[in-house]
Structure 1
Amino acid sequence: MKFPLPFSKSKHNKEKAPEETAAPRKDIGMMTPLKMDFVQLIKDATQDPSDLIVKDIPPNITLIYIDNLVNDQVLTDHVISNLQKKSVDTPDSIKAALSIPEINASTRLDVIVKSIVTGSVLIHMEGHSQVIMANIPKLESRSLSTPENESQVIGAQVGFNESLSTNISLIRRYIVSPDLCNEKFIVGRRTNISVALLYINGIANEQMVNTLRQRITDLDVDSLLDSAVLSEMIDDNSMSAFPQMLLTERPDRFCDGLINGKLGIVVDGSSMAIVCPQSFIEFFQSREDQNLRWQIATFSRLLRFTAILLSVFLTPIYVGALTFHYEVIPQAFLVPLSESRALVPFPPVFEALLLEFIIELLREAGARLPTKIGQTIGIVGGIVIGTAAVQAGITSNILLIFVALSALASFTTPSYMMGNVIRLIRFPIIILAGFWGFYGIMLAFCFILIHLLRQTSLGAPYLSPFYPPRLKGLANSIIRLPYPLTSKRPEVARPVDKEKYKPEPIKPENS
């Protein structure tokens, strides 16, 4: 169910040429043909910043631009040089004289101001109210590097960066096809961030494309600074802790989703891209599974799924067994368990919550500190605090092992967002296990299951292919089938073209 949000009430138009944007407001005026009035209007509209440059080119041309936003080399070689060498007497002749790919003209002040703050040079000719806008932005971005949060041994070792143009070029390197559609939008009244919607025509479901396009254009917010914020805004259920869209910094994983019929969103200034729709089980699948032999990839997936179950239920089962259900503990294990808890004054539920809190505290401290210091704090802090807690009788050494194993298992989740959810839901399950034992664990499991059954991702069932059941997709979601058996695209995206390739094996020709 899509919850109504305060920032999704009015529309933002899809990105168009400056002259085609929404109708001007009543308080926005038109441009003047007089040079001094033109300069003063631009200064007043931009709050007269210190880096606003006004340059005169004889006999009657004025350039205005913001120094830190334009490419100085292009400005000198292709704008100023051409205007000085060629004879120009009208705005149209100025456009013809410039060798710039993107040139627009307008007489509206709001369009002109929006253009200058996005990296354009304004060219005004005395006696003409039309202003030429030469778009030559300075594109600052860091170099391509290895993904930090989604590392893999076998496969591509390049990740997205904060430049929208660079990220789209990486995507087009993987998908060299004219069917790759790229639609751009502007989101944020004050930030004016570019957002690109990508999908493959002929594979992606048109209804899902329209739905996602509508959700983006309906956004009415002051700012949009990261793709993670956008994904929460356009989720089917923004109140749920479970993410319904995948955030990835890997171009190969992003393109794999597009090929399977999914939709992708890239936000300018963010190194994480969005892939949707996404089913629950796909958050636990790694892109590296496709690069490994199917036997090894299947083992890795099963190991990962087992680790997730241990991470969620191991500590609550310990708490429930020690509080209410001693009969499930093997007799040979009762004596060492009793000895380890002999000096602990706290009940198991408080003991478990204390250790879980310490583990999360160490993880948060390690994440916020510089890399080298964070690693040291995590290792030394875990050893010192764990040893001291056992010796002081605050906790038992057996529970310390269980909590450490649960924390370690939670880091096997390939998706960072889903890993955070796994660590979060442990706490209420531990509390319920402390109050009602195994009945509390079952109550929590049923609540989570019902919640997941109600969730959708871009209208698609969140628990697909488990519910509704899809037998053909069920096997490939749990294990990684050999490639001859994976010719069908996942049903969660409802692709138009359901087959990636013909399932018939290639037969050798008879010589």
Structure 2
Amino acid sequence: MFNKKKQDKEKNENKDQENKEQQQNEEKPKHEPISPDKNQFLLDVKQKLHSPSDFIVRFVSDNMTLVYVDNLVDNKMLNEIILTQLHEVEEIPEAIHLKLSIPEVDVVNELNKFIGDMLQGAAIVHVNGYDQVVVAKISAYQSRGLSAPENESQVIGSQVGFNENLSTNISLIRRYITNPNLCNEKFVLGKQTKTSLSVLYIHGIAIEEYINTVKQRITDLEIEDLIDSSVLAELIDDNSRSIFPQMLLTERPDRFCDGLLSGKIGIIVNGSSMGILCPYSFIEFFQSREDQNLRWPIASFIRLLRFFAILISIFLTPIYVASLTFHYEVIPQPLLVPLSESRAIVPFPPIIEALILELIIELLREAGAKLPTKVGQTIGIVGGIVIGTAAVEAGITSNILIIIVALGALSSFTTPNYMMGNVIRIIRFPIILLAGFWGYYGVMIAVCILFIHLLRLTTLGAPYMAPFYPPRFKQWPNSIIRFPITFIQRQAVNSRNKKNDSEQSGKKVSK
């Protein structure tokens, strides 16, 4: 009986293995040879591309044909280099490959391979009678010029941001880091979009385990399209269901390079103006690149002010709701009378009053962000004043709550990272609800749930709450305040190369 079960189990395993192999074979693209005949070659290419209007065919000679997709190739290189040299070369694919004086030239004997290259900006040379083509990559993607970052502005420091061109972004990074150890590995994702991306890191500084993790997660992805780097960050992070970002999205080349120099892994996606840095801990989202450009006492004060503003943004409105609903005894006597007079004509309980105002603030913020710049600023300022004044006169809310909600909204904008700023604004709502139901006990429940979630999070397997958990006491002060440059360790806490640490231990910093 047991032998029979064992045989059935082995048969099922063999069937599963055969099904997997069959599925893998079906997923692999079939090898389609290139027709030696010129007319059949053009017919095959047109069928593959479904005869698009921007498909260009140019007959260089009786036996030589040049095909490409219009607006994807560099016309200057095509006319001045490719066509000029094709008239002077022997009509053999190997001879053409050796003659063309451009960086990327290859000889391909597979139809699907050169079709993909052509859609990425390659010109294809076919010689009648040969089942090979010469692929000359002369892509010329249109991209906007370099401009100042819009979402991560700073007063002191670089004023150049990434654009949507992968090559331009990598060149910006290499201008900052002229180091032969800067590694650049390219990948292609998306069955439909074939989006190119680059994984960058500095060999000897970044931890090998994190590098392998990032590359493995990218390789394992099976997606139809990839348009923006924010989508990739959500696909490869440790917990995509969490509201907290575990990878930094930045449009600043200087911040990106600073992360690479501290041991992080960077990802640049073609078509996106935001670079990805990982692993990134919770405390690092509240640190700005400009902190390094300011004198350390000023930078430390601003960083402490930023942390204080975050606490105000999250807890000020819930404390107001809890105090007025359950805990009048904590309100000072001189403040109790003005509060009572302010809320005397308000028909709603504090929780409803607070939620209405918070939603109005969020509506104004969203409307201001989506409208054109000049109109958005007017809507934000005028709308806030008009709605706030009308709400008080109509008896919907009190003057004090308007001040509290406005102060909380203003404090949330001090967060230097846009993604984390959105998180700070959203988590206020469940805390307000818990404060309205259970008072200070509800606030403490929310804090406990929040801390448990943060302590369980990881970023590429590294603790999200480093250096506070697990505790690394030597790194605590520099995480909260900014020490002088001579005392700052260049590598981040959660992405440190142990080999480099052992080599650097015992060495003193000298001016």
Q: TM-score, normalised by structure 2?
A: 0.93
2:335 corresponds to 1:311: no
2:273 match: secondary structure: coil
2:433 match: secondary structure: helix
Whole-angstrom distance in 2 between the partners of 1:323 and 1:24? 65
Q: What letter corresponds to residue 226 of structure 2 in structure 1?
A: L
- Which residue in 2 is equivalent to 1:506? 510
User: Residues 285-434 of structure 1: matches in 2 within 5 Å?
Assistant: 285-434=287-436
- Which residue in 2 is equivalent to 1:31? 34
RCO comparison, higher one (Cα < 8 Å, 6+):
1
Q: What letter corresponds to residue 106 of structure 1 in structure 2?
A: V
Q: What letter corresponds to residue 424 of structure 2 in structure 1?
A: I
2:416 match: secondary structure: coil
Structure 2 runs not aligned, ≥5 long:
1-19, 21-25
User: Residues 462-473 of structure 1: matches in 2 within 5 Å?
Assistant: 462-473=464-475
Deviations 1:115-165 (A, max 9, x none): 111111111001111011111101311111111111111111111111111
Q: 465, 479, 496: which is aligned to 2:481?
A: 479
Deviations 1:222-249 (A, max 9, x none): 1111111110000100000000001111
- Which residue in 2 is equivalent to 1:4? none
2:77 corresponds to 1:74: yes
1:32 match: secondary structure: coil
1:33 match: secondary structure: coil
Whole-angstrom distance in 2 between the partners of 1:24 and 1:254? 36
CA contact 1:180–1:201 (8 Å) conserved in 2: yes
CA contact 1:88–1:97 (8 Å) conserved in 2: no
Q: 195, 220, 223: which is aligned to 1:221?
A: 223
2:427 match: secondary structure: helix
Q: 33, 40, 44: which is aligned to 1:41?
A: 44
Q: 266, 274, 277: which is aligned to 2:276?
A: 274
1:128 match: secondary structure: coil
Whole-angstrom distance in 2 between the partners of 1:197 and 1:76? 34
User: Residues 168-187 of structure 1: matches in 2 within 5 Å?
Assistant: 168-187=170-189
CA contact 1:150–1:249 (8 Å) conserved in 2: yes
- Which residue in 2 is equivalent to 1:6? none
2:204 corresponds to 1:202: yes
Deviations 1:317-363 (A, max 9, x none): 00000000000000000110001101100010000000000000000
CA contact 1:290–1:297 (8 Å) conserved in 2: yes
1:149 match: secondary structure: coil
Give 1:483 deviation, angstroms: 2.0
CA contact 1:489–1:500 (8 Å) conserved in 2: no
CA contact 1:51–1:67 (8 Å) conserved in 2: yes
Give 1:170 deviation, angstroms: 0.7
Q: 106, 109, 129: which is aligned to 1:107?
A: 109
Give 1:94 deviation, angstroms: 1.3
CA contact 2:94–2:107 (8 Å) conserved in 1: no
Q: What letter corresponds to residue 217 of structure 1 in structure 2?
A: T
Give 1:482 deviation, angstroms: 1.4
Give 1:59 deviation, angstroms: 2.5
Whole-angstrom distance in 1 between the partners of 2:128 and 2:137? 21
- Which residue in 2 is equivalent to 1:57? 60
Q: What letter corresponds to residue 508 of structure 2 in structure 1?
A: E
Q: What letter corresponds to residue 48 of structure 1 in structure 2?
A: S
Whole-angstrom distance in 2 between the partners of 1:153 and 1:500? 34
Whole-angstrom distance in 2 between the partners of 1:161 and 1:89? 41
Structure 1 runs not aligned, ≥5 long:
1-9, 11-21
Deviations 1:284-332 (A, max 9, x none): 0001111111100110010000000000000000000000000000000
CA contact 2:318–2:443 (8 Å) conserved in 1: yes
2:58 match: secondary structure: strand
- Which residue in 1 is equivalent to 2:266? 264
**C-alpha spacing 1:505/1:83, structure 2 compared with 1 (3 Å):** closer
Give 1:502 deviation, angstroms: 7.8
Deviations 1:409-459 (A, max 9, x none): 000000000000000000000000000000000000000000000000111
Q: What letter corresponds to residue 52 of structure 1 in structure 2?
A: F
CA contact 2:262–2:496 (8 Å) conserved in 1: no
Whole-angstrom distance in 1 between the partners of 2:371 and 2:497? 44
- Say how many residue pairs are matched: 485
Deviations 1:55-76 (A, max 9, x none): 1111310111111111111100
Higher percent of residues as helix: 2
Q: What letter corresponds to residue 327 of structure 1 in structure 2?
A: E
1:484 match: secondary structure: helix
- Which residue in 2 is equivalent to 1:89? 91
Identity of aligned residues (%): 61
Deviations 1:96-125 (A, max 9, x none): 221121111112111021111111111100
Whole-angstrom distance in 2 between the partners of 1:381 and 1:417? 25
1:64 match: secondary structure: strand
Q: What letter corresponds to residue 227 of structure 1 in structure 2?
A: S
Whole-angstrom distance in 2 between the partners of 1:426 and 1:102? 54
**C-alpha spacing 1:91/1:395, structure 2 compared with 1 (3 Å):** same
Give 1:504 deviation, angstroms: 2.7
More displaced stretch, 73-82 vs 483-492: 483-492
**C-alpha spacing 1:380/1:238, structure 2 compared with 1 (3 Å):** same
User: Residues 135-154 of structure 1: matches in 2 within 5 Å?
Assistant: 135-154=137-156
Whole-angstrom distance in 2 between the partners of 1:502 and 1:163? 43
CA contact 1:473–1:490 (8 Å) conserved in 2: no
Whole-angstrom distance in 1 between the partners of 2:370 and 2:296? 37
RMSD, aligned α-carbons? 1.6
Q: What letter corresponds to residue 309 of structure 1 in structure 2?
A: L
1:349 match: secondary structure: helix
Give 1:500 deviation, angstroms: 7.5
Whole-angstrom distance in 2 between the partners of 1:225 and 1:502? 47
**C-alpha spacing 1:500/1:284, structure 2 compared with 1 (3 Å):** farther
Q: What letter corresponds to residue 510 of structure 2 in structure 1?
A: I
CA contact 1:487–1:500 (8 Å) conserved in 2: no
1:333 match: secondary structure: helix
- Which residue in 1 is equivalent to 2:12? none
CA contact 1:24–1:110 (8 Å) conserved in 2: no
Whole-angstrom distance in 2 between the partners of 1:48 and 1:201? 46
- Which residue in 1 is equivalent to 2:118? 116
